[in-house]
Amino acid sequence: MEAYTQRLVARIGTAHSRLCLGLDPRPDQIAQTHPSVEAFLREVIEQTATHVAAYKPNIAYFEAMGSKGIQLLESVLEWIPNEVPVILDAKRSDIGETQSYYAKACFETWDVDAVTLNPWLGYDTIEPFLGYAGKGLYLLCVTSNPGAAAFAMREIDGEYQFERIQAMCARAAADPAVHADVGLVAGLTNLEPAVLHRLVDVPLLIPGLGAQGGNLGALAGSRTAPNVVNVSRGILFREPEKSFEEKAIGYKNRINEVMDPAPA
């Protein structure tokens, strides 16, 4: 089975894009421009599918709509073309059997390509996801919120706390029983040079561009992993005078000016 990273590399090359489009439906805002959330998301996908490296539906926005929201998420997964990887932004974190059922939901029931996880409860909490061949995991490492400075980016004895998380990537890579690919979530708003210098060269899911005001220039460098930069509100709700396609192309081009769209 093709590894998740290989699939993502191929998609980045085909689309000439590292843009990951976050699907975060906000019914109150959508009602101002569209007859339904369903119509809104269909239009977003139809207009942007050729310009994105991946889609990232955030499950919280769908769960907030109740059972209809979960049905809508399942429809969205069907509308996304097969060649476009789907990263489910779920940030699941639990222990024991519960986490194994989260893994089953993500990789068997919904069959998404990758998922975000909160690994701060320990390595054993990500293990239920590691046995799925062809799938990807993105571990919350340096998040884009201000609170990351007091927690993940805190130094103790010369080591950032987030380095304990990225050590899980090396542990997983060295384990022959692991079949999934493991990357990190690294928020653009907190990617100062000292942090970037210590981030290992694994696939990164990079939020923080667009509405959060992250600096793309921080990404210039020699990293070779298939990194993708997420934009959600900047395409979904900002600049309503522009089409979703226009905004997706604009962000794709901005990202490509800093990052090579075809990884080595």
Residues recognised as catalytic: 91
Contact 169, 182 (CB under 8 A): yes
Distance CA 162, CA 107 (A): 26
Other C-beta atoms lying within 10 Å of the C-beta of residue 58:
20
Q: What Cα–Cα distance (Å) separates residue 26 from each residue in 45, 63, 65?
A: 16, 12, 10
The C-alpha angle with vertex 172 and arms to 114 and 122, in degrees rounded to 5, equals 85
Provide the CB-side half-sphere exposure for 69 (13 A, CA).
Answer: 15
Distance CA 173, CA 192 (A): 26
Other C-beta atoms lying within 10 Å of the C-beta of residue 67:
8
Q: DSSP secondary-structure letter at 28?
A: H
